[in-house]
């Protein structure tokens, strides 16, 4: 029976799966909803994510990763088991599974992810740090000899890593990312317009008129919120300039964190980064002008990866194809029988 191997990206917002020979097969909300009446699982994935926005009393919605950190391990295990179990159907026999996980995950958590993945039907499993996986997914070669800075801008964290020869030489993670940007937009509208908007609306605004620089030709959109004074629904316009104002501090925090990492990097790596440039991955890399704005401020070439939010899943796919090469770089792939000593 042929083995179709699986790559999983465990993100704060999305869980994305890559199947060898098929590419990305799904990208769903990394969430689960429980029925409060009997504590049973009600929904997993997008359906659970949608419930979170509506917060019905009958359900409790949990997200296993908050701010890039696994906040509820049993929930994470249940979601992983569900999806891997679904992918390991009769046509797929004990596949190899690569899991791209937040780089701050502890060894114990790593072991539990491996165990959960094996329990769900996997053969060989490896949990690999997201910056490496994303870099490979963006096309960086594993034996690239020069230091490259990869910045993954997701929903919960911005992870800044300097990668050389397939390992993370230097890394930092900050909580300023997609979710805090949504909060900043919501706060701005509250302060400037006296209107209360939900985080779903804030995200929609970020996606539609969000900008990391002041656009010369302003664009705007219509949104709906609730007036703080009257308590009534209110339709309002919001422009790209206003969203730029709302996000300015967030961009500054990201810029400062990059400068911090650059300053701490040894001289050799520093000059490598200046020469090689910076690669942006993750959904927030799609914020218009972020690459250009960072490049102008840093004086270094900054490139947005193609299809940035899928780099980690694609990178997991790359690793599946090149396990031998990865092993030569010190990565190990564990069988269920050999995980005890992780
Ligand atoms: N076109 C876009 N413009 C701005 N932000 C975007 C866009 N597309 C996705 N995002 C944001 O990217 C973040 C999700 O990125 P992703 O890399 O999928 O996160 P994670 O790995 O944490 O699950 C969210 O905050 C989402 O709102
Ligand atoms: Mg991610």
Question: Does residue 87 have a pLDDT over 90?
Answer: no
Q: Is residue 139 part of a domain?
A: no
**Residue 326 is part of which domain span?**
6-133+311-338
Q: Is residue 87 part of a domain?
A: yes
At residue 333, the pLDDT reads: 67
| Sequence-distant (≥ 6) Cβ neighbours of residue 125 within 8 angstroms | 96, 97, 98, 99, 113, 114, 117, 118, 333, 334, 335, 336, 339
Whole-number Å distance, alpha carbon 286 to ligand 1 midpoint, is 8
Report if residue 180 sits inside a domain. yes
At 216 the pLDDT is 86
Least confident of 36-40, 168-172, 253-257, 291-295: 168-172
* 29 C-alpha to ligand 1 centroid (Å): 12
Whether 337 has a pLDDT exceeding 50, the answer reads: no
Q: Please count the residues of the chain.
A: 342
Both 214 and 91 in one domain: the answer is no
Q: Does the pLDDT value for residue 342 go beyond 50?
A: no
Q: Is the CB–ligand 1 distance for residue 200 below 6 Å?
A: no
- CATH number of the CATH domain containing 10: 3.30.420.40
Per-residue pLDDT band at 89 (split at 50, 70, 90): low
Residues 91 and 121 grouped into a single domain: yes
Residue 140 maps to a domain: no
SS (H, E, C) 227-266: ECCCCCEEEEEEEHHHHHHHHHHHHHHHHHHHHHHHHHCC
pLDDT in tens, 315-329: 999 998 888 888 787
Q: How many domains does the chain have?
A: 2
Indicate if 153 and 115 belong to the same structural domain: no
- Tell me: do 114 and 54 sit in the same domain: yes
Average pLDDT over residues 156-175: 88
Average pLDDT along the chain: 89
Q: Quick check: is 1 in a domain?
A: no
Q: Is 210 in the pocket of ligand 1 (CB under 6 A)?
A: yes
Mean pLDDT of 261-286: 93
Q: C-alpha angle with apex 104: 143 to 133, nearest 5 degrees?
A: 30
Residues 58, 185, single domain; the answer is: no
Q: Cβ(287) to ligand 1 under 6 A?
A: yes
pTM above 0.85, yes or no: yes
Residue 272 lies in a domain: yes
Give pLDDT, residue 44: 97
Q: What is the mean pLDDT of residues 111-121?
A: 82
Task: Say if residue 158 is in the same domain as residue 266.
Answer: yes
Please indicate, yes or no, whether residues 104 and 150 belong to a single structural domain of this protein: no
Same domain, 278 and 317: no
| Same-domain status, 153 and 286 | yes
Residue 286 Cβ inside 6 Å of ligand 1? The answer reads yes
Average the pLDDT over 189-206 and give the result: 95
Please compute the mean of the pLDDT values over residues 138-150 and round it to a whole number. 87
333 or 310: whose pLDDT is higher?
310
From the alpha carbon of 65, which atom of ligand 1 is closest?
22
Residue 289 lies in a domain: yes
Q: Please tell me whether residues 204 and 106 are part of one structural domain.
A: no
296 and 150, same structural domain?
Answer: yes
For the chain, percent of residues with pLDDT exceeding 70? 94
Q: Is 320 domain-assigned?
A: yes
Are 211 and 251 in the same domain?
yes
Say which ligand is closest to the CA of 31: 1
């Amino acid at each position: 029976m042929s083995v179709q191997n699986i790559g999983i990206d465990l993100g704060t917002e999305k869980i994305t799966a890559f199947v060898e020979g098929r590419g990305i097969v799904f990208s769903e909300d990394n969430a689960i909803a429980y029925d409060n009446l009997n504590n049973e699982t009600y929904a997993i994935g997008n359906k659970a994510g949608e419930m979170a926005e509506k917060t019905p009393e009958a359900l409790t919605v949990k997200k296993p990763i908050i701010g890039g950190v696994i906040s509820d391990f049993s929930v994470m295990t249940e979601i992983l088991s569900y999806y891997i179990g679904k992918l390991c159907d009769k046509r797929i026999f004990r596949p190899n599974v690569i899991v791209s996980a937040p780089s701050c995950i502890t060894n114990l958590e790593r072991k539990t992810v491996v165990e959960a993945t094996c329990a769900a039907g996997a053969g060989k499993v490896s949990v690999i740090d997201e910056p490496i996986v994303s870099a490979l997914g963006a096309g960086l070669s594993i034996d690239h000899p020069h230091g490259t800075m990869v910045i993954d801008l997701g929903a919960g964290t911005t992870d800044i890593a300097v990668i050389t020869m397939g390992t993370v030489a230097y890394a930092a993670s900050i909580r300023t990312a997609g979710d805090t940007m949504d909060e900043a937009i919501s706060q701005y509208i509250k302060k400037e317009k006296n209107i209360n908007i939900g985080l779903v609306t804030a995200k929609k605004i970020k996606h539609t008129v969000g900008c990391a620089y002041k656009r010369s030709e302003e664009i705007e959109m219509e949104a709906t919120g609730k007036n703080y004074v009257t308590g009534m629904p209110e339709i309002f316009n919001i422009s790209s300039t206003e969203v730029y104002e709302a996000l300015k501090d967030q961009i500054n925090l990201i810029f400062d964190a990059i400068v911090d990492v650059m300053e701490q990097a040894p001289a050799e790596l520093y000059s490598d980064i200046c020469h090689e440039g910076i690669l942006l991955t993750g959904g927030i890399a799609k914020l218009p002008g972020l690459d250009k704005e960072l490049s102008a401020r840093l004086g270094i070439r900054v490139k947005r990866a193609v299809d940035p939010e899928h780099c980690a899943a694609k990178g997991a796919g790359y690793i599946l194809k090149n396990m031998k090469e990865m092993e030569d770089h010190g990565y190990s792939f564990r069988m269920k029988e050999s995980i005890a000593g992780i």
